[in-house]
């Protein structure tokens, strides 16, 4: 996909906007050159079926250009409405199998123009909405025709090319492209995305975004005494890894942020086997790790003034002959012992070692973990909000701000000490499940034991990483890429955490 600027609309497909007052949002010049067409468009905008359905795209057939798509920019007061409009447009363009479009937009420079910042959000929404996953669709149909899914190849922005606008659209492109990569990884079947495939992606991105890449393999974990990670990975024949990407700013005395994402490339539950129904969906149990990797791509390309370490503990959870058993006790990197009461609560085990090692080695100023951690999160918040637990007000504020800016919705859950009792061990320090009550909270508080008192936040994306159809710029089905833009935006707008 490319974005190109042009002086005159040249594509056969044309996208035109109007605002909530029914005003056409096109440059004066274009109006002058297309008076008759403008008149007709104004007539269409007034039609009740177009005027009343604000969050939709209307397709009109004209002689030249062949197709005109009319879209309302929506109520600006509504949260994320612009990104939503973009998402709806992107989905429409994909369903129409269009490969090229010219987008008309009023002249927005010099800034401040009320629509200047909106261009970036709108473009990001469109690029996110265009996403489709077709890797395993064969192109052969019964009648021998090529049925390859068509995709958008070129967006022509009918705008005067200008450094500021170019920077805005470039930023939108990097954010959306990275999120769409994360969606690809989440949608890939488990046999096509193992911890080793994760490594390949890390290597590609490290090169592209100028990041340092290293990994910890199982041998090294043995010598580092990462008993919790090893306990999870021992039931699977696929080797597990902790992948590490490092971004270093040129800014001296910058703070360091550690991001840790759960990278379970398939979660069967282990010996505490999950029911067969929907078990296939557990290929997406690596979406936290994927979000960290996608965010590191954005960070590497856009270079914030903060150091960022991204860690992805990646493993399968399978009930092989050597699998960890309910009742087994594991010892984590920081020496804490954990009784495994349920092998399906494996995410917190691999995260525990990664968090303990990461905080010890990199001495970060703040730590965020992100994971498809609990079914309880899905029950509590549904497929809309990620659940957040945070023990630091400054960090909480910055995460909430990033969530608002990027439209990856987050809701805070309490992380009080009172819940800690539920995960106290009987024969060990901790147990890996805290019972049915407050399942998302006890999972989060389990992780707090491994961050060494550093300001910390936990994001449970179990409800929103997959099939989150309520958000217009997320795909209707499959991986959403949630967290990618949020974490990147947090790093790019970092305002410090040290008192």
List phi, psi (to 5°) of 41. -65, -40
Within residues 457-486, the interface with ligand BES by CB under 6 A covers 462
Shortest Å distance, C-beta 62 to ligand BES: 46
Residue 350 or 491 having the CB closest to Zn ion = 350
374 binds, among Zn ion, ligand BES, none (CB under 5 to 8 A by kind): ligand BES
C-alpha closest to that of 321 among 227, 233, 235, 228: 235
Residue 363 contacts residue 451 (beta carbons within 8 Å): no
Instruction: Verify binding: residue 346, ligand BES, rule CB under 6 A.
Output: yes
Shortest Å distance, C-beta 442 to ligand BES: 8
370 DSSP β-pair partners: 261, 459
Within residues 370-399, the interface with ligand BES by CB under 6 A covers 372-376, 378
**What residues have CB less than 8 Å from 441, skipping those under 6 apart?**
389, 413, 414, 415, 419
C-alpha 125/C-alpha 406 separation (Å) is: 10
What residues are labeled active site?
274, 348
Instruction: Verify binding: residue 285, Zn ion, rule CB under 5 A.
Output: yes
C-alpha closest to that of 491 among 297, 336, 321, 283: 297
Q: Single out the segment in contact with Zn ion by CB under 5 A; choices: 87-95, 305-313, 338-346, 473-481.
A: 338-346
Residue 267 or 316 having the CB closest to ligand BES = 267
- The residue from 246, 255, 339, 344 that contacts Zn ion (CB under 5 A) is 344
- The residue from 311, 433, 482, 492 that contacts ligand BES (CB under 6 A) is 433
Longest dimension (CA), the chain: 82
Residue 185 contacts residue 284 (beta carbons within 8 Å): no
Within residues 173-192, the interface with ligand BES by CB under 6 A covers none
**What residues have CB less than 8 Å from 242, skipping those under 6 apart?**
215, 216, 221, 226, 229, 311, 312, 313, 314, 353, 354, 357
Residue 264 or 491 having the CB closest to Zn ion = 264
Residue owning tokens 């100023």: 365
433 binds, among Zn ion, ligand BES, none (CB under 5 to 8 A by kind): ligand BES
Give one word for 130, left, alpha or beta, with left for phi > 0 and alpha for psi -120 to 50: alpha
Shortest Å distance, C-beta 288 to ligand BES: 10
Q: Single out the segment in contact with ligand BES by CB under 6 A; choices: 152-160, 351-359, 369-377, 449-457.
A: 369-377
11 binds, among Zn ion, ligand BES, none (CB under 5 to 8 A by kind): none
Shortest Å distance, C-beta 406 to ligand BES: 21
Report how far apart, in Å, the C-alpha atoms of 289 and of each of 45, 47, 433, 441 are. Answer: 45, 47, 22, 20
C-alpha closest to that of 461 among 300, 268, 290: 290
Alpha-carbon torsion angle 2, 5, 7, 13, nearest 10: 30
C-alpha 489/C-alpha 325 separation (Å) is: 40
Query: How many helices (H) and strands (E) in the chain?
Result: 15, 18
Residue owning tokens 């701000």: 401
State which residue has the least CB distance to ligand BES: 375
- The residue from 267, 339, 365, 408 that contacts Zn ion (CB under 5 A) is 267
Shortest Å distance, C-beta 274 to Zn ion: 7
Burial (CB count <10 Å: 0-12, 13-18, 19+), residue 292: buried
Shortest Å distance, C-beta 314 to Zn ion: 12
Residue 214 contacts residue 244 (beta carbons within 8 Å): yes
At 337 the three-state DSSP class reads strand
Shortest Å distance, C-beta 278 to ligand BES: 8
Residue 184 or 344 having the CB closest to Zn ion = 344
Instruction: Verify binding: residue 369, Zn ion, rule CB under 5 A.
Output: no
Instruction: Verify binding: residue 347, Zn ion, rule CB under 5 A.
Output: yes
Shortest Å distance, C-beta 335 to Zn ion: 24
Instruction: Verify binding: residue 489, ligand BES, rule CB under 6 A.
Output: no
- The residue from 31, 56, 203, 342 that contacts ligand BES (CB under 6 A) is 342
Residue 309 or 479 having the CB closest to ligand BES = 479
108 binds, among Zn ion, ligand BES, none (CB under 5 to 8 A by kind): none
Give one word for 5, left, alpha or beta, with left for phi > 0 and alpha for psi -120 to 50: beta
Size of the site for Zn ion (CB under 5 A): 6
Q: Single out the segment in contact with Zn ion by CB under 5 A; choices: 88-96, 110-118, 222-230, 266-274.
A: 266-274
- The residue from 230, 345, 388, 430 that contacts ligand BES (CB under 6 A) is 345
**Strand ranges (E), 337-429:** 337-339, 366-371, 386-390, 410-412
Per-residue interface string for the shown chain with ligand BES, residues 291-330, x marking contact by CB under 6 A: ----------------------------------------
What does the binding site for ligand BES look like in residue numbers (CB under 6 A)? 267, 285, 342, 344-347, 372-376, 378, 433, 439, 462
What does the binding site for Zn ion look like in residue numbers (CB under 5 A)? 264, 267, 285, 344, 346-347
């Amino acid at each position: 996909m490319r974005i190109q600027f042009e002086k005159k609309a040249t594509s056969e497909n044309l996208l035109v906007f109007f605002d909530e007052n029914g005003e056409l949002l096109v440059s004066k010049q274009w109006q002058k050159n297309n008076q008759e067409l403008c008149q007709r468009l104004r007539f269409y905008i007034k039609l009740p079926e177009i005027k009343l359905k604000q969050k939709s795209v209307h397709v009109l057939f004209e002689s030249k250009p062949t197709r005109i798509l009319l879209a309302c920019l929506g109520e600006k007061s509504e949260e994320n409405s612009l990104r939503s409009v973009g998402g709806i447009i992107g989905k429409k363009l994909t369903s129409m199998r269009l490969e090229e479009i010219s987008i008309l937009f009023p002249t927005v420079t010099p800034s401040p123009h009320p629509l200047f910042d909106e261009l970036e959000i709108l473009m990001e929404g469109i690029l996110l909405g265009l996403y489709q996953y077709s890797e395993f669709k064969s192109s052969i149909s019964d009648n021998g025709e090529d049925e390859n899914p068509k995709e958008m190849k070129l967006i022509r922005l009918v705008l005067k090319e200008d450094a500021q606008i170019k920077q805005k659209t470039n930023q939108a492109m990097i954010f959306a492209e990275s999120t769409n990569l994360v969606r690809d990884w989440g949608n890939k079947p488990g046999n096509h995305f193992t911890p080793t495939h994760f490594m390949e992606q890390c290597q590609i991105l490290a090169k592209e975004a100028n990041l340092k890449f290293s990994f910890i393999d199982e041998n090294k974990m043995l010598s580092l005494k990462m008993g919790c990670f090893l306990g999870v990975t021992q039931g699977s024949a696929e080797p597990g890894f902790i992948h590490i990407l490092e971004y270093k700013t040129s800014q001296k005395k910058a703070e360091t942020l550690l991001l840790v994402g759960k990278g379970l490339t398939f979660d069967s539950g282990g010996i505490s086997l999950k029911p067969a129904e929907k078990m296939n969906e557990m290929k997406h149990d690596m979406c936290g790790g994927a979000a960290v990797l996608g965010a590191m791509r954005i960070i590497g390309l856009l270079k914030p003034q903060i150091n960022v370490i991204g860690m992805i503990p990646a493993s399968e959870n399978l009930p092989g002959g050597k699998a960890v058993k309910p009742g087994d006790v594991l010892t984590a990197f920081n020496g804490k012992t954990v009784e495994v009461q349920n092998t399906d609560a494996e995410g917190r085990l691999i995260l525990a070692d990664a968090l303990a090692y990461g905080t010890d080695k990199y001495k970060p100023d703040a730590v965020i973990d992100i994971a498809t951690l609990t079914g309880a999160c899905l029950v509590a918040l549904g497929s809309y909000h990620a659940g957040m637990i945070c023990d630091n007000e400054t960090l909480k504020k910055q995460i909430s701000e990033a969530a608002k800016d990027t439209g990856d919705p987050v809701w805070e859950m309490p992380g009080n000490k009172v819940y800690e009792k539920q995960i106290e061990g009987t024969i060990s320090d901790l147990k890996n499940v805290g019972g049915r009550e407050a399942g998302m909270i006890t999972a989060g508080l389990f992780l707090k034991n491994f961050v060494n008192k550093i300001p910390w936040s936990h994001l449970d994306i179990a409800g929103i990483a997959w099939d989150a159809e309520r958000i217009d710029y997320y795909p209707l089905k499959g991986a959403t890429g949630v967290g990618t833009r949020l974490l990147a935006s947090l790093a790019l707008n970092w305002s410090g955490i040290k008192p």
